[in-house]
Chain A
Amino acid sequence: MKTIFNLSLIAMLSMQLLWAQKTITGIITDETGVPLPGATVIELGTTNGVSSDFDGNYTIEIGEEAALEYSFVGYSSQVIRDIDDDLLNVSLNPSNELDEVIVVAYGVQSKESIVGSIAVISDATIQAQQATTITQALQGSIPGVNIITSGGVPGTNPIIRIRGIGSINADSSPLIIVDGAPFNGNLNNIAQEQVESISVLKDASSTSLYGSRGANGVIIITTKSGTKRSKTQLTISSNYGVSNNASALHNLINIDDFTKYAWESSRNSEQYVQGLTPSAAGSKASMNLISELKYNPYGLSQPVNTSGDLLVSPMWDTDWKKAVFSENVTRKEHGVSINGGGEKTSFYFGSNYLKEEGQVKTTFFERIATRLKIDTEVNDFIKAGLNVSYTTSKLNAPSQSGDGIQGAIQWLYSVPNYYPLYQRDGNGGLILNSAGERIFDYGNNLTQLVNGSRSNSANENAVGAIDNYKFVTNLTSTTMNGYFNVNILEHLKFRSDVFYERSSYDNFSYSDNNFGIAANVNGRVTQNRDFDTTLNLTQSLNYKTYFGLNRLNADVIFETLRYQIDELGASGIGFLTNVNVLNGGTRPEGVSGSNTEERLISLISRISYNYDKKYYLEASARRDGSTRFSEESRWGNFYSIGGSWIASEESFIKDIDFINYLKIKASYGELGNNRGIGYFPYLQLFETGFSQGTNPGVLSSSPVDPILTWEKTAMLNYGVEFGIFDGLLDGSVEIYNKESIDLIYDKPLAISTGNDFIKTNVGSLRNYGVEFSLRSTIIDKEDFTLNLGLNFSLDNNEISKLSQKEFINDNKKWEVGRSLYEFYIRESAGVDPNDGYLMWYKDILDTNGEPTGERTMTKVYSEADRYYVGASSLPDIIGGFNTSVTYKNFDLNALFNFSFGSYVYDHSYERLMNTTDITGQRHADIANRWTKPGDVTDVPLLLNSQNYFGATSSRFLFKNDYIRLKALSIGYSFKGSFIERLNVSRFRLYLQGDNIFTNQTHKGIDPEQNLSGATNNRSYQLKTFSLGVNVQF
Chain B
Amino acid sequence: MKKIIILIALISTLIFSCDKDYLNEPKPTSSVSSSVIFTSRDGVNSFISGILRASRLELNLDRLDTGGLPSLYFARTVKGNDLVLGVQWYRFDYNNDNRDPTDKRTVFNWAFPYTMINELNILIKGINDSENLSAIDKDETLSQALTLRAFYYFQLAMEFQHTFSYDASLPAPPIYTSPALDGKAMSTLTEMYTLILSDLNDAVEKGADSRLDKSYVNKNVTYGILARVNQVMGNWSAAEIAASKARIGYSLSASNYSNGFNNIDDGEWIWGIPQTVDQTITINTAPHSFTDNSNKIGYGEAFWNEDFVNRFTDTDVRNTFFDLFGFGDNSGSYKARASSKFRLTFDPDIPLMRSPEMLLIEAEAKARQENDNEAATLLFSLQKNRDPKAVASGNSGTALIDEILVERRKELYGEIGVEWFDAKRLRKGIIRTGNHRVKSPGNLLPDDKKFFLKVPQSEIDANDNIEASVNADR
Tell whether A pairs with B. yes
- Cβ A539 vs Cβ B10 within 8 A: yes
A107 beta carbon closer than 8 Å to chain B: no
Binds B, one of A229-237, A439-447, A965-973: A439-447
- Cβ A692 vs Cβ B52 within 8 A: yes
In angstroms, Cα B98 to Cα A919, docked, is: 19
- Cβ B24 vs Cβ A589 within 8 A: no
Binds B, one of A731-739, A753-761, A871-879: A753-761
8 Å CB contacts to B: which residues of A437-476?
A: 442, 444-447, 449, 453, 455, 458-459
List the A residue with the shortest CB-CB distance to B279.
A691
Binds B, one of A98-106, A220-228, A340-348, A595-603: A595-603
A488 beta carbon closer than 8 Å to chain B: yes
List the B residue with the shortest CB-CB distance to A381.
B3
- Cβ A520 vs Cβ B346 within 8 A: yes
A interface footprint on B293-312 (CB within 8 Å = 1, 0 otherwise): 11111111100000000000
Count of chain B residues near A, Cβ 8 A: 104
**Residues of B contacting A782 in the complex (Cβ-Cβ under 8 angstroms):** none
- Cβ A692 vs Cβ B111 within 8 A: no
In angstroms, Cα B31 to Cα A594, docked, is: 10
A interface footprint on B116-145 (CB within 8 Å = 1, 0 otherwise): 111101100000000000000000000000
A701 beta carbon closer than 8 Å to chain B: yes
**Residues of A contacting B116 in the complex (Cβ-Cβ under 8 angstroms):** 754
In angstroms, Cα B212 to Cα A244, docked, is: 60
- Cβ B294 vs Cβ A446 within 8 A: yes
8 Å CB contacts to B: which residues of A489-509?
A: 489, 494, 496
**Residues of A contacting B95 in the complex (Cβ-Cβ under 8 angstroms):** 945-946
Tell which of B29, B274, B463 touches A752, judged by Cβ atoms closer than 8 Å: B463
A interface footprint on B269-282 (CB within 8 Å = 1, 0 otherwise): 00000101111001
List the B residue with the shortest CB-CB distance to A678.
B28
In angstroms, Cα B14 to Cα A686, docked, is: 38
In angstroms, Cα B346 to Cα A517, docked, is: 11
Count of chain A residues near B, Cβ 8 A: 86
- Given known pairs A459-B297, A686-B37, the reply for A751 and B462 (CB within 8 Å) is yes
Tell which of B7, B31, B107, B299 touches A488, judged by Cβ atoms closer than 8 Å: B7
In angstroms, Cα B300 to Cα A459, docked, is: 11
- Cβ B182 vs Cβ A587 within 8 A: no
**Residues of A contacting B184 in the complex (Cβ-Cβ under 8 angstroms):** 750, 752
- Cβ A755 vs Cβ B181 within 8 A: yes
**Residues of B contacting A294 in the complex (Cβ-Cβ under 8 angstroms):** 87
**Residues of A contacting B459 in the complex (Cβ-Cβ under 8 angstroms):** 750-752
Number of A-B contacts (CB under 8 A): 257
B166 beta carbon closer than 8 Å to chain A: no
8 Å CB contacts to A: which residues of B30-86?
A: 30-34, 36-37, 45-54, 62, 86
B388 beta carbon closer than 8 Å to chain A: no
B23 beta carbon closer than 8 Å to chain A: yes
B387 to chain A, nearest CB (A): 28
In angstroms, Cα B333 to Cα A500, docked, is: 69
8 Å CB contacts to A: which residues of B1-41?
A: 3, 6-7, 10, 13-14, 17-18, 22-34, 36-37
Tell which of A291, A444, A596, A680 touches B333, judged by Cβ atoms closer than 8 Å: A291
Tell which of A445, A601, A684, A951 touches B18, judged by Cβ atoms closer than 8 Å: A601
In angstroms, Cα B120 to Cα A364, docked, is: 48
- Cβ A292 vs Cβ B215 within 8 A: no
In angstroms, Cα B180 to Cα A804, docked, is: 18
**Residues of B contacting A750 in the complex (Cβ-Cβ under 8 angstroms):** 182-184, 459, 462-463, 466
- Cβ A758 vs Cβ B181 within 8 A: yes
- Given known pairs A458-B299, A752-B174, the reply for A699 and B23 (CB within 8 Å) is no
A66 to chain B, nearest CB (A): 31
In angstroms, Cα B88 to Cα A444, docked, is: 12
- Given known pairs A589-B278, A946-B97, the reply for A691 and B181 (CB within 8 Å) is no
A649 beta carbon closer than 8 Å to chain B: no
B394 beta carbon closer than 8 Å to chain A: no
A308 beta carbon closer than 8 Å to chain B: no
A122 beta carbon closer than 8 Å to chain B: no
List the A residue with the shortest CB-CB distance to B116.
A754
**Residues of A contacting B28 in the complex (Cβ-Cβ under 8 angstroms):** 596, 679-680, 683, 685
**Residues of B contacting A690 in the complex (Cβ-Cβ under 8 angstroms):** 49-50, 53-54
In angstroms, Cα B51 to Cα A695, docked, is: 12
- Cβ B294 vs Cβ A751 within 8 A: no
- Cβ B33 vs Cβ A683 within 8 A: yes
B381 to chain A, nearest CB (A): 33
B4 to chain A, nearest CB (A): 8
Tell which of A292, A687, A691, A945 touches B31, judged by Cβ atoms closer than 8 Å: A687
In angstroms, Cα B53 to Cα A699, docked, is: 9
8 Å CB contacts to A: which residues of B414-441?
A: 440-441
A588 to chain B, nearest CB (A): 8
B102 beta carbon closer than 8 Å to chain A: yes
Tell which of A274, A520, A599, A627 touches B297, judged by Cβ atoms closer than 8 Å: A520
- Cβ B62 vs Cβ A403 within 8 A: yes
**Residues of A contacting B333 in the complex (Cβ-Cβ under 8 angstroms):** 291
In angstroms, Cα B294 to Cα A749, docked, is: 43
List the A residue with the shortest CB-CB distance to B275.
A693
**Residues of A contacting B49 in the complex (Cβ-Cβ under 8 angstroms):** 690-692, 695-698
- Cβ B462 vs Cβ A748 within 8 A: yes
**Residues of A contacting B278 in the complex (Cβ-Cβ under 8 angstroms):** 589-590
In angstroms, Cα B24 to Cα A598, docked, is: 10
B471 beta carbon closer than 8 Å to chain A: yes
B interface footprint on A366-400 (CB within 8 Å = 1, 0 otherwise): 00000000000000010000000000000000000
**Residues of B contacting A494 in the complex (Cβ-Cβ under 8 angstroms):** 6-7, 10
8 Å CB contacts to B: which residues of A882-909?
A: none
In angstroms, Cα B466 to Cα A754, docked, is: 16
A440 to chain B, nearest CB (A): 13
In angstroms, Cα B297 to Cα A691, docked, is: 25
- Cβ B50 vs Cβ A486 within 8 A: no
B471 to chain A, nearest CB (A): 7
Interface centre among A589, A749, A750 (most CB of B within 10 A): A750
A353 beta carbon closer than 8 Å to chain B: no
**Residues of A contacting B399 in the complex (Cβ-Cβ under 8 angstroms):** none
A861 beta carbon closer than 8 Å to chain B: yes
- Given known pairs A446-B293, A692-B215, A946-B98, the reply for A703 and B181 (CB within 8 Å) is yes
In angstroms, Cα B145 to Cα A1028, docked, is: 70
In angstroms, Cα B183 to Cα A926, docked, is: 43
- Cβ B92 vs Cβ A752 within 8 A: no
In angstroms, Cα B123 to Cα A699, docked, is: 10
List the A residue with the shortest CB-CB distance to B32.
A686
B interface footprint on A941-961 (CB within 8 Å = 1, 0 otherwise): 000011010010000000000
**Residues of A contacting B114 in the complex (Cβ-Cβ under 8 angstroms):** 751-754
Give me the interface of A with B, judged by CB distance under 8 Å: 273-274, 291-292, 294, 381, 403, 442, 444-447, 449, 453, 455, 458-459, 486, 488-489, 494, 496, 517, 519-521, 537, 539, 558, 560, 573, 587, 589-590, 594-599, 601, 625-627, 631, 634, 679-680, 683-693, 695-701, 703, 748-755, 758, 807-808, 849, 861-862, 919, 945-946, 948, 951
The 9 closest A-B pairs by CB, nearest first: A754-B118, A750-B183, A697-B49, A697-B50, A750-B463, A685-B31, A690-B50, A520-B297, A597-B26
Of the A-B pairs whose beta carbons lie under 8 Å apart in the complex, a sample of 18, sorted by A's number, is: A537-B17, A560-B17, A599-B26, A626-B23, A631-B23, A685-B32, A685-B34, A686-B36, A687-B31, A691-B49, A695-B46, A696-B46, A697-B50, A698-B32, A699-B50, A752-B173, A753-B183, A755-B181
Told that A594-B29, A754-B117 touch, could you supply 19 new A-B pairs with CB distance under 8 A?
Answer: A449-B324, A455-B91, A488-B3, A494-B7, A520-B282, A539-B10, A539-B14, A558-B17, A590-B278, A599-B23, A601-B23, A686-B37, A693-B213, A699-B50, A700-B122, A750-B459, A750-B462, A862-B457, A862-B471
Give me the interface of B with A, judged by CB distance under 8 Å: 3, 6-7, 10, 13-14, 17-18, 22-34, 36-37, 45-54, 62, 86-88, 91-92, 95, 97-98, 100-102, 107, 110-111, 114-119, 121-122, 173-174, 176, 179-184, 212-213, 215, 274, 276-279, 282-283, 292-301, 324-325, 333-335, 346, 440-441, 454, 456-459, 461-463, 466, 469, 471
